[in-house]
Amino acid sequence: MYSIVDIETTGNGIKGNKITEIAIFKYDGFKIIDEYTSLVNPQCDIPFFITGLTGIDNQTVKDAPTIDQIAKEIIEFTKDSIFVAHSVNFDYNVIKNEFKNLGLEYVRKKLCTVRLSRKLIPGYHSYSLGKLCSALNIPLTDRHRARGDAHATTLLFDKLLKTEGTEEVFKKFLNARSQEATLPPGLPKEVFDNLPLKPGVYYFKDRLGKIIYVGKAINIKKRVLSHFYDKASKEIKMCQVTVAIDFELAGSNLLALLMESNAIKHHYPEFNRAQKKNVQQYAIFGYEDRKGITHLAYNKLKAVPVPLMLFYSISDCRTYLETLCKTFDLCPKYCHLQENVLQCSHYTIVCNGVCRGNETVENYNQSVEKAISHMKLQDEHFVFTEKGRTPDEQAFVYIENGKYAGYGFISNENTFMSFTDLEPYLVKQKNTFETQRIVQSYLIKHPQKKLIAVAEEIL
């Protein structure tokens, strides 16, 4: 038994979406045996653009039952049947969420007529309900009203049931382990099946081949699948228009982060929000107090007259200052890791006592100057290595004048002594706030990471 469903909603995303109309046709595989249709009062205003699409306004639903008044009828009507809809995850998740808010559980097996149509009757330019009904000569009246769309979906479903190969396809789609009901309506399952369980970058594409989202993951396949389970409005909308997914292997999380950042800046995908905004910069700077003691402190870049080193988070500033304290025996109080104290008492750093009068100001300032010189030496050329995409290779990240300049992959069999050896493998990249922050944070967290200094620049 099948319950073929269509709903109209207020259009406020899955979690804020309220049903305004619902229609269900109970179908036994041969004919319609029952029908349930009702307007629903969403108990909130219906947006004008939704009224323009459906014709349903606040007045239309003023005297209609609320969802809590008809929920048990819907549950009973669809009991012991398979939930069918065109783009099933939308209708199913809205209903499920409405019932969840009422403290009611709703679980049904699902079939999607978009995915079934793509599998059983391939080759159509569009699989929207309107375009598909027009191409198959299926009558569709009262478009964008629940009963009209549900009835047309029922007629489409009837055609699909009578198509050659239906039994095997239906059995596969209803297999709980097949993930067919979870995948976006336009995404072929073989595309998802071919995704790797490795680190890298993935690209969601629409039917025109345009990249609409770029993501990175330690496990590409697992991360992509999580998008399909996400009920956020942005995720639902993105998955509805995704018909292809490409990927690039990275070998490590660091390389995936760098590749993702470059791809977002290059393609500026519609559904990426991160890395499109200006990033707040911070800087470490030095100054001398009335006692003649040289302080190292941090603040927003725009408030720093002579920055010594740039960072992209306060935590990175503090972590780096802690490293300087430990390396050059500096005082946490005068590096502003502890504020409003007479003497430092940092739990991991012990200074030589300038804050207690046990070290001369002159001697302490010399240590600060060494730390400042060390920061200035960071503007050098070097590479550091990371895990490659396969056991037979390694990745490298190239730093030029202290700034990120690109990455590459090189076979373990190849040795390199200078940048000239690496040049054929280098993928040059533009340094941005995001990539600089990624590399800087990585090196702060991995201070013992082997750095390979080189004297030549790649021109």
> What is the band of 432 on the pLDDT scale with cuts at 50, 70, 90?
confident
pLDDT at 451: 61
The most distant pair of C-alpha atoms in the chain lies apart, rounded to whole Å, by 95
d(CA 73, CA 177): 30
| Distance from C-alpha of 391 to C-alpha of 386, rounded to nearest angstrom | 12
CB 81 within 8 A of CB 1: yes
Q: How many CB atoms lie within 10 A of CB 81?
A: 17
Question: Hey, what domains does the chain have and what are their CATH numbers?
Answer: 2-174 (3.30.420.10), 189-267 (3.40.1440.10), 282-376 (no CATH), 382-453 (no CATH)
Query: Which pLDDT value is given to residue 458?
Result: 43
pLDDT at residue 455, rounded to an integer:
45
Report the C-alpha gap between 209 and 191 in whole angstroms.
14
Alpha-carbon gap, residue 230 to 11, rounded angstroms: 17
Distance in angstroms (rounded) separating the CA atoms of residues 149 and 154: 9
Can you give the pLDDT at residue 450?
55
Which residue in 316, 439, 449, 454 sits closest to 380, CA to CA?
454
Q: Do the beta carbons of residue 308 and residue 379 sit within 8 Å?
A: no
Q: What is the pLDDT of residue 79?
A: 94
The token pair at 403 is 């700034």
Instruction: Kindly report the backbone phi and psi dihedral angles of residue 289, in degrees, each rounded to the nearest multiple of 5, phi listed first.
Output: -90, -175
pLDDT tens sequence across 122-171 = 988 889 999 999 999 999 888 889 999 999 999 999 999 999 888 888 88
Residues, the chain: 459
Q: Which residues does 186 contact at the CB level (< 8 Å), separation at least 6?
A: 114, 118, 127, 207, 240, 241, 242, 243
* Side chain identity at residue 172, one-letter code: K
Q: 0.85 exceeded by the pTM?
A: no
DSSP class of residue 344 equals -
pLDDT (0 to 100) of residue 452: 63
Look up tokens 């459906």; give the residue.
54
For 85-110, how does the pLDDT look when each residue is reduced to its tens digit (9 = 90+)? Answer: 998 988 998 999 999 999 999 999 99
Residue 213: pLDDT band (50, 70, 90) is very high
Dump pLDDT digits (tens) for 244-278: 999 999 999 999 999 999 999 889 999 998 765 66
> 């739990």: which residue's tokens?
347
Higher pLDDT, 355 or 449: 355
**Residue 456 — very low, low, confident or very high, per pLDDT cuts 50/70/90?**
very low
Mean pLDDT score, 8-28? 87
Q: With 70 as the cut, is the pLDDT of residue 459 above it?
A: no
